[in-house]
Chain A
């Protein structure tokens, strides 16, 4: 039971608002000590795992190219595009993006879009411009703009999560096949992925309804 101390530390630390990096270090130390490791052994185990998980941070490799495109005016061009496309409302833009993200993820194309490469430079500015045009404001006030950006980011995650499992060769499907195989149950990847379809449809309906509601809210003073 003592090893759960680390989990408690993470939950409490994040809830109180301490710096998450220090919370993670403290939790790793507590967990390791509870499992009978010495502090030096914990540090070594953490360092080993940190080194093995470098691919997580390799995603930041895309920052320079997005930076250059933003300096060249990509965000401004995305905003300008909304001004020229009359029929594109906030709700239609978000619905189209949700469908696009789910459909491409279902084909295994998970890295075709993402928070750094699509949401920040293109979709978020377009969503803000579309929302501003609907509320007849030259620009959104900062709290409203932040809400729109957060909603766009959430839409990307939801589209990705509830699309990717329809694809046969995605990591989570392979994990399930392997796990069931170890337990003596043979399952074809196809059988797992078809069961992701009902939830994918539900996700489009539920989040789509929230998009429509978000788009109908009146302009905020």
Chain B
């Protein structure tokens, strides 16, 4: 059965390819450090389950130190830019075809596995259908694009590395933050924050309690980087005992709008690195927080809208 381990193996091979290409990248002054970084990434994906907890800890420590001291990147020359313009003129709209194929394959793959009955479920792990389909789509479409647009055979690796170098050390941050979240959970950080919030803020009117829940979901999400971490704590601490039990609110409306208030926090926090910081690196923005700045006004207004919506909609049998 094809599942997570096969996708990880594919990712490991791609990252190993990045490591080899980094070593051969004469234009990158720090090619050895880049090779070490991507080599360890490959090791984690190929053999992470056999390294042991401490082994994985040492691995991520070395990766983080190597990356924090600065990875290099190779430049693009004007020659490349001219070739791209010429290629765009030759192939025109056909260039969009592979880009459209990726989501279609992912969609067809995940739907096919989910509704394909026993034979499909025997072939692909239904729980990982989307990720498996994505892995399959990238392989197929990369090969197809190389043929269609007459690119060098190794170009998926060299061009993938060019993008990976653009992202740089930021490539590691989302996974490290996820691991930090697990350490926070282990130490009971969420419970302490939740208790502090409920103790410090007064909730003697319905509006105050709604505001504490909505703003608390957002604030907690900003601190933890993830609305899913904030939800159980804030809902057990504020929503269920106060909003539902005391003020008679509808739990479905309160939870749904509470979660969306948490999403407003996600738009505001650098700790949600995969949404907020990695795109800034990927788009070559000088300001690491540029995407957060672009989102902030919408997030703040929507947080207020959510508070009002909950106050108005979630209490059918008024106070």
Listed in ascending order, the chain A residues whose CB lies under 8 Å from chain B are 1, 3-4, 6-7, 10-11, 14, 19-22, 24-25, 27-28, 31-32, 34-35, 40, 42-78, 80-81, 109, 111-113, 115-122, 124, 146-147, 149-151, 153-154, 156-158, 161-162, 165, 171-172, 175-176, 179-180, 183, 185, 187-188, 191-193, 195-196, 198-199, 202-203, 206-207, 210
Q: Is the CB of B266 within 8 A of A47?
A: no
Closest CB in chain A relative to B284 CB, distance in Å: 8
By secondary structure, the A interface counts as: helix
How far apart are the CA atoms of A88 and B55 in the complex, in Å? Answer: 53
Rounded to whole Å, the gap between the CB of B234 and the closest CB of chain A is: 11
Do A179 and B159 have beta carbons less than 8 Å apart?
no
B121 within 8 A of A: no
- B182 A49 Cβ-Cβ under 8 A: yes
Contacts of A124 in B (CB 8 A): 283
Complex Cα distance, B67 from A19, in Å, reads 9
Q: Which residue of B lies closest to A61 (CB)?
A: B11
Q: Taking A35-B186, A172-B259 as contacts, is the C-beta distance between A64 and B160 under 8 angstroms?
A: yes
Contact A31 B183 (CB under 8 A): yes
Enumerate chain A residues within 8 angstroms of B228, measured Cβ to Cβ. 171-172, 175
A28→B180 contact, CB < 8 A:
yes
**Residues of chain B in range 38-69 having any CB-CB distance to chain A below 8 Å:** 41, 44-45, 48-49, 51-61, 64-65, 67-68
A20, A67, A109: the one within 8 Å of B162 (CB)? A67
Find chain B residues with CB under 8 A from A196 CB. Answer: 256, 260
Contact present for A68 and B286 (CB under 8 Å): no
> Is B208 on the interface with A (CB-CB < 8 A)?
no
A203 surroundings in chain B (CB, below 8 A)? 298, 302
| Docked-complex contact A44 and B131, CB < 8 angstroms | no
- Verify B87–A72 contact, CB threshold 8 A: yes
Q: Output the nearest chain B residue to A207 by Cβ-Cβ distance.
A: B298
Query: Given A57-B175, A112-B106, A185-B251, is A4 in contact with B193 using a C-beta cutoff of 8 Å?
Result: yes
Query: Which residues in chain B, 239-254, are within 8 Å of chain A measured between CB atoms?
Result: 240, 244, 251-253
Q: Are B187 and A35 in contact (CB under 8 A)?
A: yes
What residue in chain A is nearest B8 (Cβ atoms)? Answer: A54
Contacts of A122 in B (CB 8 A): 96, 99
Interchain CB contact under 8 A, B88 and A57: no
Check: B135 CB closer than 8 A to any chain A CB: yes
Judging by beta carbons under 8 Å apart, are B54 and A112 in contact? no
Asked if B149 and A24 sit within 8 Å, CB to CB, the answer is no
Among A46, A57, A171, point to the contact of B41 (Cβ < 8 A). A57
Q: Which residue from A31, A58, A69 sits with its C-beta under 8 Å from B99? A: A69
Q: How many residues of B contact A (CB 8 A)?
A: 141
**A71 contacts which of B14, B45, B155, B274 (Cβ < 8 Å)?**
B155
A43 to chain B, nearest CB (A): 4
Decide: A54 and B160 in contact? CB cutoff 8 A.
no
Asked if B309 CB lies within 8 Å of chain A CBs, one says yes
Q: Which residue of B lies closest to A58 (CB)?
A: B11
Cα separation A117 to B107 with both chains bound (whole Å): 14
A158–B298 contact, CB under 8 A?
yes
Given contact pairs A49-B178, A49-B181, a sample of 8 additional A-B residue pairs in the complex whose CB atoms are under 8 Å apart: A24-B179, A25-B61, A69-B98, A71-B80, A73-B88, A146-B283, A165-B260, A199-B257
- Taking CB as reference atom, which chain A residue is nearest B253? A195
B84 adjacent to A71 (CB under 8 Å): yes
Identity of the chain A residue whose Cβ is nearest the Cβ of B295 in the assembled complex: A154
Q: What are 30 of the A-B contact pairs (CB < 8 Å)?
A: A4-B193, A21-B173, A21-B176, A25-B61, A31-B187, A34-B187, A43-B54, A47-B56, A48-B57, A49-B180, A49-B183, A51-B53, A60-B14, A67-B160, A68-B142, A68-B146, A73-B88, A73-B95, A74-B96, A75-B84, A111-B130, A118-B99, A122-B96, A154-B298, A162-B260, A176-B231, A176-B256, A192-B252, A195-B252, A210-B298
A96 to B270 CA separation, bound complex (whole angstroms): 27
Q: B282: which of A77, A80, A120 is its contact (CB, 8 Å)?
A: A120
Known: A154-B294, A192-B252. A57 touches B174 (CB 8 A): yes
Pick the 7 closest A-B CB pairs, nearest first.
A67-B159, A47-B57, A73-B88, A47-B56, A64-B160, A49-B182, A195-B256
B256 touches A112 (CB 8 A): no
Which residue on A lies nearest to B222, using beta carbons?
A11
* Cβ-defined contact, A77 with B88, below 8 A: yes
Instruction: Report whether A192 and B180 are in contact in the complex, using a CB–CB cutoff of 8 Å.
Output: no
**Residues of B with C-beta under 8 A to A54:** 8, 11, 44-45, 48, 175
Contacts of A76 in B (CB 8 A): 84-85, 87-88
Chain B residues lying within 8 Å of A21, measured Cβ to Cβ, are 64, 67-68, 169, 172-173, 176
Instruction: Say if the beta carbon of B29 comes within 8 Å of chain A.
Output: no
